[in-house]
Amino acid sequence: MPARHVSRVRALYRRILLLHRVLPPDLKALGDQYMKDEFRRHKTVGSDEAERFLQEWEAYAAVLWQQANENRHNSTEKACFGISLPEERLNDFRDEQIGQLQELMQEATKPNRQFSITESRKPKF
C-alpha cells in the first residue's frame, strides 16, 4: 500500500473523529464505532473499492462539516445532522450493505439509548 494512500486514510479517519465531536453524545458513540468498524473492514480491499470507499467517506465528512457550521450559526434551532438516502441509491448497494444500513437505522432509532448522559450539579474542583 503506497505511503500516500495510508496518509490519506489516516487523515480522513482523524478528520471524521474530530467532526464527530459536534454530534450529540449517543450519535457520536454510534458514529465512531460504525466508522472504526467500516475502516477496519475495508483495510484489505482492492484499490478500486478502496478509492470508492474513501470518496464516500470524504463526501460524508464534507456534509458533516457543512452541517456542523450551519448548526453553529443557527444556535436557536435544534441541531440537525444527516441526509436522506434516495431510494434509487439503494439499488447500488449489495445485500450485505442493505443489512448494515438496516442495523444502523435500528440502532440509531432505539427508544432506550445505550448511553445516558446526566449533568452533575456538584461543582468540580
**Looking at residue 1, what is its pLDDT?**
63
**Looking at residue 66, what is its pLDDT?**
92
**Looking at residue 108, what is its pLDDT?**
74
Whether 121 has a pLDDT exceeding 60, the answer reads no
| Cell numbers placing 46 | 482492492
Alpha carbons 115 and 125: distance in angstroms, whole number: 25
- Going by pLDDT thresholds of 50, 70 and 90, the confidence category of residue 124 is very low
Query: Among 41, 35, 36, which Cα is nearest to 60's?
Result: 35
Q: Are 22 and 3 in contact (CB under 8 A)?
A: no
pTM value? 0.70
| pLDDT tens, position by position, 75-120 | 667 777 877 778 888 788 888 888 888 887 787 777 655 554 444 4
Residue type for 64, please? L
